[in-house]
Structure formats: C-alpha cells, structure tokens
Amino acid sequence: MAPDGSTARTGAARGHIVVVGAGLSGLAAALHLAGRGCRVTIVERESFPGGRNGILERDGFRFDTGPVVFTMVPLLEEAFRAVGRSVSDYVTLQLLDPAYHAFFADGSRLLVRPGYEKMREVIEAESGAKDARAFDDFVVWLRRLNDVELPHFIDANFNSPLGLFRSPRAVAELLRLGGFKRLGPEVARRFSDERLHRVFTFQSMYAGLAPDQALALYAVITYMDSIEGVWFPEGGMHAVPAAMARAAQDAGVEIRYEVTVDQVSRVPGGAVSGVVLESGERLAADAVVVTADLPVAYERFLPGLTPPRVARRGQYSPSALVWHLGVKGELPEATGHHNIHFGKEWSQAFTDLMKTGIPMRDPSRYVAVPSVNAPAVAPEGAHTLYALEPVPNLHVGRLEWNREGPRLRDRMLTFLDSFGYPTDIVTEELVTPADWQAQGMAAGTPFALAHTLMQSGPFRPRNVDRRVPGLIFAGSGTTPGVGIPMVLISGKLAAQRVQEMRR
C-alpha cells in the first residue's frame, strides 16, 4: 500500500528514482513518487532544501532569497496528501489580509483583499458602484478561465502540440471566454478606474510579459492571488520547502545534501542509467528527474546533447534586481507585508524593460516586509526588506552589472527613503542578473522562458526528451511554467512521466 492508503502500481514500486535538486519542483516530484511506491533519492548541492526558494542568514537577519508570494495552497496540499500527510502537520500558513498594499503615483492607495466579497467592498468604496458591478462579472470570468485552464492546459502533460486538441471543448470555451485576446485591453474595457487595470494585470509579469502583450488566459494568475488569496508560512517562505523535505523523509525519501551532480549517466543506447557525482560516486537509477533550468541542465549534465530549440533561442522573461536589506527603525504606518509601488508610466516602462533593454526610467517596484508577520526574522527594533525592481534580462539588455547594479541600488535607496521605509542599513545583499546567471539561471533571469503563446502549454519545452528515455525534467523551464503553483504541478507531472515509463 502507498502511504495514502492507495495501491501503488507494481512497476513504479520497483524503481529507484534520483531527483536532482531539492527545490519545490524536486520535492513535489519526490512526494508524488514516494506516494506511488518508488524508492527516491534527492541529491542537492546546498546544505538545505529550497533551491531558488532558499534562505540567507546574516547579522541576526533571515532573508528568503526566492519567491515571496505564496498562492494556491491546495496544490501544496496535494503533494503532502500523496504520502498521507497534510500541510498543517508540518507548517502553519496564514492568509494575508490585505494581500497587497498598492500605491500609485497620484498618492492614492488601494488594498487588495482576498476573496470576492472583501475586494468588492474595496472597489465600491474606492472606485464606485459601476466598477464594483464590473467586478462581479470579472470574478465569474476569472473563475471560469481557471476551471477550464487548470485541468486541461496547466495540470497536464503534452507529448506534442496536437495535444492541444485532445480537449476541443476546452479550447472552444477558452475562445468563447476571450482567452486568446490580450490581457491589458480585456481588463481595461471592464473597469473605469485605471488603478484597477494595474492591480489586475501586473501579474502578467510573473509570466514574463507586459499586460498588453500577455494573452487574457493569463488572468488565471490574477485569480490565483487576487481571489484565492496570498498566504504566508509561519517563520518565512523557506518554511515551505523545509516542511516538504521533512514530509518526504518521513515517507522514506533519502535526501543527500551538499552533493553535486556532475552528469546524468546513460547506457550506449541513450537511456538513463543514473547520475555521476562530482566525487566520482555513481548512483544507479531507473529514471532521473532534473530540476535545473533547462539550458543549464543540458549544458551541465548532458554534454553533447543539444537542448530543444525553444530553450536555446526562445524569449526569456525579464529579470529582477533584488535587494535584501536588514534595517533598523520603524515602518511607515501604511506598510503591509506585500507592497507594490506603481510608477506613473506603464506601457513605456515595459518598452524600456523588454524592447529597449534599459532599466525602467519610471519603474514600478515591489517591497516585501516579512518581519511584519514573522518578527523572528529580524532583531528587535529592526526589519527585513525585500525590494525588487524589474530589469532587462541578459539577452535583451547589454548592461555592465558591476556598474549598473550599484547605480540602481542607490536609486532604490532614494525611493525607499522617499516612502518612509527605514534605511539605517545593518546588512544587505544585492542580486543582479549577472548573479542569477552565476546561480545557473539562463539569460540571467529567475523567471525562465516567458509565457508567450508559442512557449506555453504544448509548445513549452516538454518534460521528457525522447533521445534519453528515463530522463524527466521539472521546474519553471518546462511544463507548465513559472511560479510556485506551476512548479508544484511540474513535480507532479514529472512523477506521472515516471509512472508512464514503468507501465
């Protein structure tokens, strides 16, 4: 019996699976595989789990170095349920209300509150009855998009683009809903208050696209955080991979930390036979799940094997300048956990970022203050700040980051000070696109391939390579894409690929 009480399929139960990387996708894959009766070994080069969802401790401050917005808890619950556990057995999650504090160039502020009723109250009070009524229809549209997309196009493996037509009714419904129109205009035509246009479309940046460029079907990301809500794990974001790692170990998964993979080993016919570690040790495996960024995975682990064309020549998402600060002092009164400061410019700022390849001249910025809900991450009388500004990736921009980084850091300091954030800096860490590249992220972006139409769904690099049977990919560079919900699903889809292989 599997830990969840179900009967594990015999073929998979006999297999040994090696997962390269203890990030969220690797941990999700391990949990789903363990639930199917597989023997699983995770090898992780760091001394802790999390991958991009890592942690930095310095001078009494603790920083989450990866994603800072957590949504769609049921997807995390599904991974724990695979081994007969529950999220609440390992970590406590708090629903943030407000989810975001949105600040605008005219000095106004909007609170983005979780759920339909609370957000409708905000819109009626701030934007008027007409936009509140528009929100009624907007929520129905978002939910319908989510209900169609999630099972048919997100939580699904594709073997070829023809897979798009295995659910013709779903495709027809997406067309009827206007999913293939542009997100920005679709939102703009619904609401009169221009602030709502920004609040309900900035999420397209998670998909690596400007709102006017993104397909309307990516409003599903808006649904995930603006309707379903944003959550925060007790102790910080790193508590999630730490909890997943403990659940995996309790289910029998072996996790080997501070172990670096040199390459994926193959038999003469090309099929996977295991991995070779930098120490020279060989781990035999029936299948290997690799979670590194796709182009980097081929370069490091599969020398001589050409990556898929889209991974080599595709359009990558913008990058981010991230500044971690440990500061002394009090926060301004209006500060929340998640704060978005919109610049005056909107379309021009995206042109700077994605076409011209220069820093936004009038940037919108995001500031997280985790110490608002997790006081233990900073000493008494101090706070942790996570300040992010979108910047060009290394394919679009030709910037010298050893010079540009400090310049933008100083510009960011001026911005923080102007909004009243404490700027008595005790410790800091600045992360530029050059640093992301050094960490193994293609094009110097932590957001992988952008979700253009031809890089999404069945057109995104698949999580298997027919030239190497037994090799499976997981993570943001493959199916279904970028963001915590997507990489959790990618781990489950990788486990399904292993199951298919063993039939």
DSSP 184-247: HHHHHTT-S-HHHHHHTTGGGGGGTS-TTTSBGGGHHHHIIIIIS--EEETT-TTHHHHHHHHH
Q: Range with the lowest mean pLDDT among 203-212, 257-266, 431-440?
A: 203-212
**The one-letter amino acid at 480:** P
User: Cα-flanking dihedrals φ and ψ of residue 134, to 5°?
Assistant: -65, -35
Q: pLDDT value at position 3?
A: 39
| pLDDT bracket for residue 11 (50, 70, 90) | very low
Q: How large a percentage of the chain has pLDDT more than 70?
A: 97
Alpha helices (H) in 223-337, listed in sequence order = 239-250, 294-301, 309-313
DSSP annotation of 28 reads H
pTM of the model: 0.94
Q: Is the confidence at residue 83, as pLDDT, over 90?
A: yes
Residue with tokens 């502020």: 109
Task: Go through the domains of the chain in sequence order and give each one's CATH number.
Answer: 10-58+68-93+235-313+450-502 (3.50.50.60), 114-226 (no CATH), 317-442 (3.30.519)
Q: Is the confidence at residue 92, as pLDDT, over 50?
A: yes
Q: pLDDT value at position 503?
A: 66
**Cα gap 193→126, rounded to integer Å:** 9
DSSP annotation of 88 reads G
Q: pLDDT value at position 7?
A: 34
Q: Is the confidence at residue 389, as pLDDT, over 80?
A: yes
The count of other CB atoms within 10 Å of the CB of residue 32 is 25
Q: Range with the lowest mean pLDDT among 14-18, 180-184, 418-422, 484-488?
A: 14-18
Q: pLDDT value at position 501?
A: 86
Instruction: State the average pLDDT over residues 277-291.
Output: 97
Q: Is the confidence at residue 499, as pLDDT, over 50?
A: yes
- Contact indicator for 3, 37 with CB cutoff of 8 Å: no
Instruction: State the average pLDDT over residues 425-445.
Output: 96
Contacts of 360 (CB under 8 A, 6+ apart): 343, 345, 349, 352, 353, 389, 390, 391
Q: Is the confidence at residue 304, as pLDDT, over 90?
A: no
Instruction: State the average pLDDT over residues 295-322.
Output: 92
